[in-house]
Structure 1
Amino acid sequence: MTNFPAPIEELIDEFSRLPGIGKKTAQRLAFFVVKDKKDSAIRLSEAIINVKNRIHFCEDCFNITDKDKCSICSNASRDRSVICVVEDSKDVIAIEKTREFKGLYHVLHGAISPMDGIGPEDIKLRELIIRIRDNEVNELILATNPTIEGEATSMYISKLLSQTDILVTRLAHGIPVGGDLEFADEVTLSKALEGRRKI
Protein backbone atom coordinates (compact mmCIF):
# COMPACT_ATOMS: atom_id res chain seq x y z
CA MET A 1 0.00 0.00 0.00
CA THR A 2 1.39 3.40 -1.00
CA ASN A 3 0.75 6.81 0.48
CA PHE A 4 0.76 8.56 -2.90
CA PRO A 5 -2.12 10.92 -3.65
CA ALA A 6 -4.57 9.41 -6.16
CA PRO A 7 -3.46 11.57 -9.17
CA ILE A 8 0.19 10.50 -8.69
CA GLU A 9 -0.79 6.84 -8.28
CA GLU A 10 -2.81 7.08 -11.50
CA LEU A 11 0.15 8.63 -13.34
CA ILE A 12 2.50 5.91 -12.01
CA ASP A 13 0.05 3.25 -13.22
CA GLU A 14 -0.07 4.82 -16.70
CA PHE A 15 3.73 5.10 -16.96
CA SER A 16 4.00 1.45 -15.81
CA ARG A 17 2.01 0.38 -18.87
CA LEU A 18 4.79 1.61 -21.19
CA PRO A 19 7.18 -1.08 -22.50
CA GLY A 20 10.38 -1.36 -20.48
CA ILE A 21 9.06 0.82 -17.63
CA GLY A 22 8.86 -0.88 -14.26
CA LYS A 23 7.17 0.45 -11.12
CA LYS A 24 10.28 2.26 -9.79
CA THR A 25 11.00 3.98 -13.10
CA ALA A 26 7.32 4.91 -13.36
CA GLN A 27 7.54 6.51 -9.91
CA ARG A 28 10.65 8.51 -10.94
CA LEU A 29 8.89 9.71 -14.10
CA ALA A 30 5.76 10.66 -12.16
CA PHE A 31 7.76 12.68 -9.63
CA PHE A 32 9.71 14.32 -12.44
CA VAL A 33 6.39 15.49 -13.90
CA VAL A 34 5.30 16.77 -10.47
CA LYS A 35 8.54 18.78 -10.02
CA ASP A 36 8.76 20.02 -13.62
CA LYS A 37 7.08 23.20 -14.83
CA LYS A 38 3.41 22.96 -15.73
CA ASP A 39 4.02 24.09 -19.34
CA SER A 40 6.43 21.15 -19.84
CA ALA A 41 3.73 18.71 -18.70
CA ILE A 42 1.24 20.40 -21.01
CA ARG A 43 3.67 20.11 -23.96
CA LEU A 44 4.19 16.42 -23.18
CA SER A 45 0.46 15.72 -23.03
CA GLU A 46 -0.15 17.73 -26.22
CA ALA A 47 2.62 15.80 -28.03
CA ILE A 48 0.99 12.50 -27.02
CA ILE A 49 -2.45 13.69 -28.15
CA ASN A 50 -0.96 15.06 -31.39
CA VAL A 51 0.58 11.65 -32.18
CA LYS A 52 -2.72 9.88 -31.52
CA ASN A 53 -4.65 12.39 -33.66
CA ARG A 54 -2.26 12.78 -36.61
CA ILE A 55 -0.35 9.51 -37.04
CA HIS A 56 -2.01 6.77 -39.07
CA PHE A 57 -1.01 4.05 -41.54
CA CYS A 58 0.18 4.71 -45.09
CA GLU A 59 -2.56 3.71 -47.53
CA ASP A 60 -0.07 1.62 -49.54
CA CYS A 61 2.44 -0.01 -47.17
CA PHE A 62 0.88 0.49 -43.70
CA ASN A 63 3.97 2.23 -42.35
CA ILE A 64 3.25 5.06 -39.92
CA THR A 65 2.84 8.52 -41.42
CA ASP A 66 1.06 11.82 -40.97
CA LYS A 67 0.05 11.97 -44.65
CA ASP A 68 -1.99 9.66 -46.93
CA LYS A 69 1.22 8.03 -48.20
CA CYS A 70 4.48 7.71 -46.28
CA SER A 71 7.66 9.40 -47.53
CA ILE A 72 8.98 6.09 -48.93
CA CYS A 73 5.87 5.26 -50.98
CA SER A 74 5.73 8.90 -52.17
CA ASN A 75 9.34 8.78 -53.39
CA ALA A 76 9.24 8.22 -57.18
CA SER A 77 12.89 7.06 -57.24
CA ARG A 78 12.18 3.93 -55.16
CA ASP A 79 12.17 0.57 -56.99
CA ARG A 80 8.52 -0.43 -57.07
CA SER A 81 9.26 -3.96 -58.30
CA VAL A 82 10.77 -4.99 -54.94
CA ILE A 83 8.83 -5.07 -51.66
CA CYS A 84 10.42 -5.78 -48.29
CA VAL A 85 7.94 -7.28 -45.81
CA VAL A 86 8.50 -6.40 -42.14
CA GLU A 87 6.55 -6.94 -38.92
CA ASP A 88 6.65 -3.41 -37.53
CA SER A 89 7.32 0.21 -38.54
CA LYS A 90 10.45 0.19 -36.35
CA ASP A 91 11.87 -2.44 -38.72
CA VAL A 92 11.47 -0.04 -41.67
CA ILE A 93 13.56 2.54 -39.80
CA ALA A 94 16.21 -0.07 -38.99
CA ILE A 95 16.56 -1.17 -42.62
CA GLU A 96 16.50 2.40 -43.93
CA LYS A 97 19.52 3.21 -41.73
CA THR A 98 21.61 0.83 -43.87
CA ARG A 99 20.95 2.96 -46.99
CA GLU A 100 21.17 -0.33 -48.97
CA PHE A 101 17.54 -1.04 -49.78
CA LYS A 102 15.96 1.04 -52.57
CA GLY A 103 12.59 -0.69 -52.90
CA LEU A 104 9.30 -0.35 -51.06
CA TYR A 105 8.02 -1.87 -47.80
CA HIS A 106 4.96 -3.62 -46.49
CA VAL A 107 4.35 -3.53 -42.73
CA LEU A 108 2.38 -6.52 -41.43
CA HIS A 109 1.83 -5.13 -37.92
CA GLY A 110 2.58 -8.43 -36.29
CA ALA A 111 3.40 -12.03 -37.05
CA ILE A 112 1.39 -15.24 -37.15
CA SER A 113 1.31 -16.67 -33.64
CA PRO A 114 -1.30 -19.37 -32.96
CA MET A 115 -0.26 -19.47 -29.27
CA ASP A 116 -1.32 -15.82 -28.97
CA GLY A 117 -4.41 -16.28 -31.10
CA ILE A 118 -2.94 -14.29 -34.03
CA GLY A 119 -3.70 -15.80 -37.41
CA PRO A 120 -3.06 -14.60 -40.99
CA GLU A 121 -6.30 -12.60 -40.92
CA ASP A 122 -5.06 -10.57 -37.91
CA ILE A 123 -2.10 -9.00 -39.71
CA LYS A 124 -1.87 -7.01 -42.98
CA LEU A 125 -1.41 -10.15 -45.07
CA ARG A 126 -4.52 -9.85 -47.23
CA GLU A 127 -3.47 -6.30 -48.09
CA LEU A 128 -0.02 -7.59 -49.13
CA ILE A 129 -1.52 -10.17 -51.50
CA ILE A 130 -3.82 -7.54 -53.06
CA ARG A 131 -0.87 -5.17 -53.43
CA ILE A 132 1.25 -7.82 -55.16
CA ARG A 133 -1.61 -8.77 -57.46
CA ASP A 134 -2.33 -5.15 -58.45
CA ASN A 135 1.29 -4.09 -59.04
CA GLU A 136 4.28 -5.34 -61.02
CA VAL A 137 6.28 -6.90 -58.20
CA ASN A 138 9.30 -9.03 -59.20
CA GLU A 139 10.75 -9.77 -55.75
CA LEU A 140 9.39 -10.02 -52.24
CA ILE A 141 12.00 -9.85 -49.46
CA LEU A 142 10.75 -11.45 -46.26
CA ALA A 143 12.36 -9.50 -43.42
CA THR A 144 10.29 -10.74 -40.51
CA ASN A 145 12.13 -11.16 -37.22
CA PRO A 146 14.15 -14.39 -36.85
CA THR A 147 11.80 -15.74 -34.17
CA ILE A 148 9.47 -18.74 -34.32
CA GLU A 149 6.58 -16.41 -35.18
CA GLY A 150 8.60 -14.50 -37.79
CA GLU A 151 9.78 -17.72 -39.43
CA ALA A 152 6.22 -19.12 -39.46
CA THR A 153 4.95 -15.92 -41.07
CA SER A 154 7.69 -16.01 -43.73
CA MET A 155 6.98 -19.65 -44.54
CA TYR A 156 3.24 -18.94 -44.79
CA ILE A 157 3.82 -16.04 -47.23
CA SER A 158 6.31 -18.12 -49.20
CA LYS A 159 3.78 -20.94 -49.63
CA LEU A 160 1.05 -18.47 -50.65
CA LEU A 161 3.27 -17.17 -53.46
CA SER A 162 4.85 -20.48 -54.50
CA GLN A 163 2.74 -20.72 -57.68
CA THR A 164 3.61 -17.19 -58.87
CA ASP A 165 6.57 -15.84 -60.84
CA ILE A 166 7.60 -13.60 -57.94
CA LEU A 167 11.04 -14.27 -56.49
CA VAL A 168 10.55 -14.72 -52.74
CA THR A 169 13.72 -14.19 -50.70
CA ARG A 170 14.51 -14.12 -46.98
CA LEU A 171 17.05 -12.00 -45.14
CA ALA A 172 20.28 -13.92 -44.58
CA HIS A 173 20.77 -15.13 -41.04
CA GLY A 174 23.28 -12.53 -39.97
CA ILE A 175 20.70 -11.38 -37.46
CA PRO A 176 20.67 -13.42 -34.24
CA VAL A 177 17.75 -15.80 -33.76
CA GLY A 178 15.37 -14.41 -31.18
CA GLY A 179 16.51 -10.85 -31.93
CA ASP A 180 14.50 -7.93 -33.28
CA LEU A 181 15.47 -5.94 -36.37
CA GLU A 182 15.31 -2.63 -34.54
CA PHE A 183 18.25 -3.68 -32.30
CA ALA A 184 20.53 -4.91 -35.10
CA ASP A 185 23.36 -2.60 -36.19
CA GLU A 186 23.56 -1.15 -39.71
CA VAL A 187 26.41 -3.45 -40.82
CA THR A 188 24.56 -6.61 -39.76
CA LEU A 189 21.37 -5.48 -41.51
CA SER A 190 23.32 -4.44 -44.61
CA LYS A 191 25.01 -7.87 -44.84
CA ALA A 192 21.68 -9.59 -44.22
CA LEU A 193 20.13 -7.69 -47.14
CA GLU A 194 23.07 -8.54 -49.43
CA GLY A 195 22.95 -12.24 -48.51
CA ARG A 196 19.22 -12.79 -48.88
CA ARG A 197 18.24 -16.05 -50.52
CA LYS A 198 15.25 -17.68 -52.16
CA ILE A 199 13.08 -19.82 -49.89
Structure 2
Amino acid sequence: MKIKINDEFVIELFGRKKVFKLKGVPFFEFEFLPKRPCISFIILAAKDFSSKKIKDIISVIESLKQKYILDIVIVVSNEKDLDELQRVFPKSFYKVNISDALENPVFSSVKCGIRAVSPYSIGAVLIFANRPSLTPDVLEKLIYAIQKGNLISIPKKDNKRTHPIAFSSLLFNVIKNLRKEKGIPYILRKYRENISYVEI
Protein backbone atom coordinates (compact mmCIF):
# COMPACT_ATOMS: atom_id res chain seq x y z
CA MET A 1 0.00 0.00 0.00
CA LYS A 2 1.23 3.51 -0.83
CA ILE A 3 0.34 6.68 1.06
CA LYS A 4 1.08 9.77 -1.01
CA ILE A 5 1.66 12.87 1.13
CA ASN A 6 2.50 15.11 -1.83
CA ASP A 7 4.22 14.83 -5.23
CA GLU A 8 7.59 14.21 -3.58
CA PHE A 9 6.90 12.41 -0.29
CA VAL A 10 5.49 8.85 -0.30
CA ILE A 11 5.11 6.23 2.45
CA GLU A 12 5.05 2.58 1.34
CA LEU A 13 3.77 -0.24 3.56
CA PHE A 14 4.95 -3.83 3.02
CA GLY A 15 3.50 -6.10 5.70
CA ARG A 16 5.30 -5.00 8.88
CA LYS A 17 7.79 -2.77 7.05
CA LYS A 18 7.30 0.96 6.48
CA VAL A 19 9.47 2.79 3.91
CA PHE A 20 9.65 6.59 3.57
CA LYS A 21 10.61 7.90 0.12
CA LEU A 22 11.47 11.41 -1.00
CA LYS A 23 11.47 11.97 -4.76
CA GLY A 24 11.34 8.20 -5.22
CA VAL A 25 14.47 7.55 -3.11
CA PRO A 26 14.12 5.66 0.22
CA PHE A 27 15.58 7.66 3.12
CA PHE A 28 14.19 5.82 6.15
CA GLU A 29 12.54 2.48 6.88
CA PHE A 30 11.55 0.45 9.91
CA GLU A 31 9.66 -2.70 10.75
CA PHE A 32 6.79 -2.94 13.23
CA LEU A 33 7.50 -5.27 16.12
CA PRO A 34 5.00 -8.10 16.40
CA LYS A 35 2.95 -7.83 19.59
CA ARG A 36 3.50 -11.50 20.30
CA PRO A 37 6.15 -13.32 22.32
CA CYS A 38 9.38 -13.70 20.39
CA ILE A 39 12.83 -15.21 20.84
CA SER A 40 15.84 -12.89 20.64
CA PHE A 41 19.19 -13.86 19.17
CA ILE A 42 22.09 -11.55 19.99
CA ILE A 43 25.09 -12.05 17.71
CA LEU A 44 28.22 -10.69 19.41
CA ALA A 45 30.67 -9.59 16.71
CA ALA A 46 32.38 -6.53 18.20
CA LYS A 47 35.60 -8.36 19.04
CA ASP A 48 35.99 -10.60 15.97
CA PHE A 49 33.94 -9.30 13.06
CA SER A 50 33.32 -11.51 10.04
CA SER A 51 30.38 -10.82 7.76
CA LYS A 52 30.64 -14.36 6.37
CA LYS A 53 30.32 -15.94 9.82
CA ILE A 54 27.44 -13.62 10.70
CA LYS A 55 25.72 -14.55 7.45
CA ASP A 56 26.12 -18.26 8.26
CA ILE A 57 24.74 -17.75 11.79
CA ILE A 58 21.74 -15.80 10.54
CA SER A 59 21.04 -18.48 7.94
CA VAL A 60 20.74 -21.04 10.76
CA ILE A 61 18.53 -18.73 12.84
CA GLU A 62 16.30 -17.88 9.88
CA SER A 63 15.72 -21.58 9.23
CA LEU A 64 13.48 -21.47 12.34
CA LYS A 65 11.28 -18.57 11.24
CA GLN A 66 8.38 -20.80 10.23
CA LYS A 67 8.07 -22.00 13.83
CA TYR A 68 8.99 -18.95 15.91
CA ILE A 69 8.88 -15.17 15.86
CA LEU A 70 12.53 -14.16 15.66
CA ASP A 71 14.19 -11.00 16.96
CA ILE A 72 17.76 -10.70 15.65
CA VAL A 73 20.28 -8.22 17.07
CA ILE A 74 23.88 -7.88 15.84
CA VAL A 75 26.49 -6.03 17.90
CA VAL A 76 29.56 -4.65 16.11
CA SER A 77 32.39 -2.29 17.09
CA ASN A 78 32.32 0.45 14.45
CA GLU A 79 30.52 2.12 11.55
CA LYS A 80 32.62 0.25 9.00
CA ASP A 81 31.28 -3.10 10.23
CA LEU A 82 27.74 -1.72 10.22
CA ASP A 83 28.15 -0.55 6.60
CA GLU A 84 29.48 -3.99 5.66
CA LEU A 85 26.37 -5.66 7.10
CA GLN A 86 24.15 -3.28 5.17
CA ARG A 87 25.97 -4.38 2.03
CA VAL A 88 25.66 -8.09 2.89
CA PHE A 89 21.97 -7.83 3.89
CA PRO A 90 20.59 -5.10 1.60
CA LYS A 91 16.98 -6.29 1.79
CA SER A 92 16.86 -7.67 5.32
CA PHE A 93 15.76 -6.04 8.56
CA TYR A 94 18.15 -6.73 11.43
CA LYS A 95 18.96 -4.50 14.37
CA VAL A 96 22.66 -3.60 14.33
CA ASN A 97 24.13 -1.82 17.35
CA ILE A 98 27.62 -0.45 17.88
CA SER A 99 29.13 -1.41 21.22
CA ASP A 100 30.00 1.71 23.20
CA ALA A 101 32.80 0.37 25.44
CA LEU A 102 35.44 -1.54 23.53
CA GLU A 103 37.83 -1.80 26.48
CA ASN A 104 35.58 -4.63 27.67
CA PRO A 105 34.05 -5.79 24.36
CA VAL A 106 32.36 -9.01 25.44
CA PHE A 107 30.16 -7.91 28.33
CA SER A 108 29.68 -4.42 26.85
CA SER A 109 28.37 -6.12 23.71
CA VAL A 110 26.03 -8.31 25.76
CA LYS A 111 24.55 -5.26 27.50
CA CYS A 112 24.32 -3.40 24.20
CA GLY A 113 22.47 -6.32 22.64
CA ILE A 114 20.08 -6.79 25.57
CA ARG A 115 19.11 -3.10 25.39
CA ALA A 116 18.07 -3.61 21.76
CA VAL A 117 15.88 -6.70 22.09
CA SER A 118 12.16 -6.58 21.43
CA PRO A 119 9.95 -5.62 24.40
CA TYR A 120 8.01 -8.81 23.62
CA SER A 121 11.07 -11.05 23.95
CA ILE A 122 10.74 -13.94 26.39
CA GLY A 123 14.46 -14.71 26.32
CA ALA A 124 17.70 -14.24 24.43
CA VAL A 125 20.32 -16.59 23.01
CA LEU A 126 23.82 -15.09 23.12
CA ILE A 127 25.84 -16.15 20.09
CA PHE A 128 29.55 -15.37 19.80
CA ALA A 129 30.33 -14.86 16.12
CA ASN A 130 33.80 -16.40 16.44
CA ARG A 131 32.63 -19.71 17.92
CA PRO A 132 32.06 -22.97 16.01
CA SER A 133 29.06 -23.28 13.71
CA LEU A 134 25.56 -23.57 15.14
CA THR A 135 22.88 -26.06 14.20
CA PRO A 136 19.11 -25.51 14.22
CA ASP A 137 18.50 -28.40 16.63
CA VAL A 138 20.73 -26.80 19.31
CA LEU A 139 18.86 -23.50 18.97
CA GLU A 140 15.51 -25.27 19.17
CA LYS A 141 16.53 -26.99 22.40
CA LEU A 142 17.48 -23.63 23.88
CA ILE A 143 14.22 -22.07 22.68
CA TYR A 144 12.28 -24.89 24.33
CA ALA A 145 14.23 -24.30 27.56
CA ILE A 146 13.34 -20.59 27.45
CA GLN A 147 9.68 -21.38 26.80
CA LYS A 148 9.65 -23.72 29.79
CA GLY A 149 10.66 -20.79 31.97
CA ASN A 150 14.28 -21.72 32.66
CA LEU A 151 16.27 -18.72 33.88
CA ILE A 152 19.60 -19.74 32.31
CA SER A 153 20.12 -22.54 29.79
CA ILE A 154 23.53 -23.86 28.75
CA PRO A 155 24.24 -26.64 26.23
CA LYS A 156 26.36 -29.57 27.36
CA LYS A 157 28.35 -31.89 25.12
CA ASP A 158 30.43 -34.79 26.44
CA ASN A 159 29.70 -33.49 29.95
CA LYS A 160 31.26 -30.08 29.16
CA ARG A 161 29.58 -26.69 28.90
CA THR A 162 29.47 -25.33 25.40
CA HIS A 163 27.99 -22.53 23.31
CA PRO A 164 25.60 -20.62 23.11
CA ILE A 165 24.00 -19.50 26.41
CA ALA A 166 20.34 -18.53 26.73
CA PHE A 167 18.83 -16.16 29.31
CA SER A 168 15.21 -15.63 30.30
CA SER A 169 13.87 -12.09 29.91
CA LEU A 170 13.56 -12.08 33.72
CA LEU A 171 17.33 -11.48 33.78
CA PHE A 172 17.43 -8.70 31.18
CA ASN A 173 17.37 -5.85 33.72
CA VAL A 174 19.96 -7.62 35.87
CA ILE A 175 22.30 -7.85 32.88
CA LYS A 176 21.69 -4.27 31.74
CA ASN A 177 22.44 -2.85 35.19
CA LEU A 178 25.44 -5.03 36.06
CA ARG A 179 28.85 -3.40 36.34
CA LYS A 180 31.26 -4.37 33.55
CA GLU A 181 33.86 -5.82 35.95
CA LYS A 182 31.43 -8.55 37.00
CA GLY A 183 30.14 -9.79 33.66
CA ILE A 184 28.57 -13.08 32.62
CA PRO A 185 30.72 -15.26 34.95
CA TYR A 186 29.27 -13.36 37.93
CA ILE A 187 25.71 -14.00 36.73
CA LEU A 188 26.43 -17.69 36.24
CA ARG A 189 27.81 -17.91 39.78
CA LYS A 190 24.99 -15.92 41.36
CA TYR A 191 22.26 -17.92 39.61
CA ARG A 192 24.03 -21.29 39.48
CA GLU A 193 21.03 -22.96 41.15
CA ASN A 194 18.86 -21.71 38.29
CA ILE A 195 21.01 -23.06 35.45
CA SER A 196 19.52 -25.83 33.36
CA TYR A 197 21.74 -27.89 31.07
CA VAL A 198 20.68 -28.92 27.59
CA GLU A 199 22.28 -32.09 26.27
CA ILE A 200 23.39 -31.82 22.65
Assess same fold via TM > 0.5.
no
Report the structure, 1 or 2, having the larger helix content: 1
* Larger relative contact order (Cα-Cα within 8 Å, sequence gap ≥ 6): 2
TM-score, normalised by the number of residues in structure 2: 0.31
Report the structure, 1 or 2, having the larger strand content: 2
TM-score, normalised by the number of residues in structure 1: 0.31
Q: Choose 1 or 2 for highest CA Rg.
A: 1
